[in-house]
Amino acid sequence: MSSKVIVTGGGGVIGRAICARLTAGGYEPVAGDLDSSIPEGRGAFPFAFVTLDVTSTDSIRAAVAEAVPAGEGLAGLVNCAGILRDSFVGELDEAQLDLMFQVNIAGMARVVEVTAPLIDDGGSIVNIGSLTGHFGRFTGASVYGATKAGIAAYTRYLASELAPRGIRVNNVAPGVIRAPMSPSMARVSGGEEISAGYAMLKRIGEPEEVAEVVEFFISGRSSFVTAQTLLVDGGVVAW
């Protein structure tokens, strides 16, 4: 069985933490991301990296061919690429609306389409959703939240379809994490203090706390868990 795991969005804050945790767990992560995600250059990036744009199937095919030499397989896939743009009613930007669906939902399906044949039987896929797919108190996150809610449904159907091969598919849905995705993040969440106030634990989360759960779902330690959404949100939705 392969130990290689492709992590889309692997150049981002949570993606890097996932690559680090997978490495510690004995996996070989390959970060797939837009080149712009590693401004310091590939030389300084501590993980294997392939240029990958999830909005383009050609780009995904080229990246996967580079990451997985012929005859090799994958232990798993982490779909972490995602973008947040605010979408307040009256201010909706059509291009950003399309891009959120293209990256957050369609991009995930495109990457699965190319990688699923390469994932070993018994392997695992983790989709990164979000608290916003299960919560309505953030304003301006309606479109982003809709894409992230869609990931929960996508995960269930994909899990059902891949179960005959023993491939498990789960959705890790972080709450507010110390990883400012874009200026929209503070506008939507209200900032760290307000976000922390929504959580039972009265704080925001760290990227490593998400990565820990992702590695658990990739590993055989979660061998009888599939089609699930697990909120890593410090107890926001349950409260």
Ligand X SMILES: NC(=O)c1ccc[n+]([C@@H]2O[C@H](COP(=O)([O-])OP(=O)(O)OC[C@H]3O[C@@H](n4cnc5c(N)ncnc54)[C@H](O)[C@@H]3O)[C@@H](O)[C@H]2O)c1
Catalytic residues: 144
Closest CB 121 distance from ligand X, rounded Å: 27
149 sits near ligand X (criterion: CB under 6 A): no
232 sits near ligand X (criterion: CB under 6 A): no
Beta carbon nearer to ligand X, 6 or 75:
6
Residue 46 contacts by C-beta under 8 Å, 6 or more apart in sequence?
19, 20
82 sits near ligand X (criterion: CB under 6 A): yes
- DSSP annotation of 222 reads G
Distance between alpha carbon 228 and the CA centroid of its chain, in Å?
14
Interface mask (CB under 6 A) for ligand X, residues 100-119, using x and -? ---x---x------------
User: Sheet of 168-174: strands edge to edge?
Assistant: 48-51, 28-33, 4-8, 74-79, 119-128, 168-174, 229-232
81 sits near ligand X (criterion: CB under 6 A): yes
177 sits near ligand X (criterion: CB under 6 A): yes
Closest CB 85 distance from ligand X, rounded Å: 11
- DSSP annotation of 94 reads H
18 sits near ligand X (criterion: CB under 6 A): no
CB atoms within 10 A of CB 42: 13
Q: Are 169 and 154 in contact (CB under 8 A)?
A: no
141 sits near ligand X (criterion: CB under 6 A): no
Considering only residues 6, 14, 100, 211, which one is a binding residue for ligand X as defined by CB under 6 A? 14
Query: Rounded CA gap, 132 and 27, in Å?
Result: 30
Beta carbon nearer to ligand X, 28 or 192:
192
Strands 48-51, 74-79: parallel, antiparallel or unpaired by DSSP? unpaired
Candidate ranges 47-55, 67-75, 154-162, 211-219; the one touching ligand X (CB under 6 A): 47-55
Category of 114 on φ-ψ map: left (φ > 0), alpha (ψ -120 to 50) or beta: alpha
Beta carbon nearer to ligand X, 75 or 188:
188
> Which residues lie near ligand X (CB under 6 A)?
8-9, 11-15, 33-34, 37, 52-55, 80-84, 103, 107, 128, 130-131, 174, 176-177, 179, 181
